[in-house]
Structure 1
């Protein structure tokens, strides 16, 4: 384990198959995706308000000189940049090396690393919060509980978690084999807010708020947002069942 955030565990060749296919798929479409989504928060006041709601407890848990906050599945880096502008010590983590390279080019003053939310090479209780917008959709159901447990492990007590994802039917899944004219193999897992909330609470996190936004122009599914936190009395305590 590292003592800071300058090293984040890369995605290894023997990592689970879904991580390897997700990495390869986003590497293939990174340029086109980044060009289409340079800042998907622009013109979305609800998402911006939720980030602001996240920042206050994150800032309390870790001030500017305190524990940092990762943007997990940072992609082109616009969420990382927005959190930085709001005053948080933030860095980005993405499974795709090509996405990380493009984010570094677009936001040269910020830090981005290759890694996965499934296995963060960070010390216990070392983070002041966790943000993951539209990235848990690529995590299969059987890996989601361990991801939520990983969130609990790395957070300082009182630190928040903000998740955003396209909502859908229970156990729904879509596989794309082509996007932007490139051959890929990318799975999307659609879950209800209740399903993801249950995973968070089972991992020992307290649910604070849930929001469901109807699809806007160009969107096919509602957007769900969950704001949770690690209980203040959980210092050094693993969730039951781990």
Structure 2
């Protein structure tokens, strides 16, 4: 699906020791990909690089097409990207905010098809009752869901999401992950999402990529292949038990940090 070839990036030019990535080679699979890793592993930087927001060295491909060589319009048609963000000020309603996600397809008038796509997405996220509410009146979690809806209605081939479950309660976290699975299955859209919750990643990801604190690839594969006590110790510095539920999904139970205080 998306392939990184010899990717290198540093926020400070000519500082090899400060590189977030250095010659990173990585292939994301079709379906729902989750990126895991500790703080500072470069997970958000990786998504920004894929979307073309950073001047990296190397090449990023979608199939056999070079994303690196695409212009901005071509990238935005191929991908939607939702960064970590908090926007509090807006005079628009929720419906108007989400309709803006259809902007590239909108004509002089909003077509019934556009409205249907928007309302279907709001209903899938269980926030259709907020459609006429002012965006500025919403809670932080509700605003996050509106931004996610705005991303989904663009109907891209690839969706990049940076910690989308932050600010959401447990029910909304589960519903969002279930929705991402449905989008992959029904709309044949590929998704790359950064998560911190390892158990959610284990339950919903088709493919997991683990980055270590140096921005290097530690491991990738199916959840059962990747989520192990050794990985948790070496990558996260945590002693933990890994058991398996009735569906053979790994369940992580942290015990303690490897550091002594």
Bigger proportion of residues as helix: 2
More strand by share: 2
The TM-score normalised by the length of structure 1 is 0.29
When Rg is computed on C-alpha atoms for both structures, the one with the higher figure is 2
Greater relative CO (CA pairs within 8 A, separation 6+): 2
Query: What is the TM-score with the length of structure 2 in the denominator?
Result: 0.28
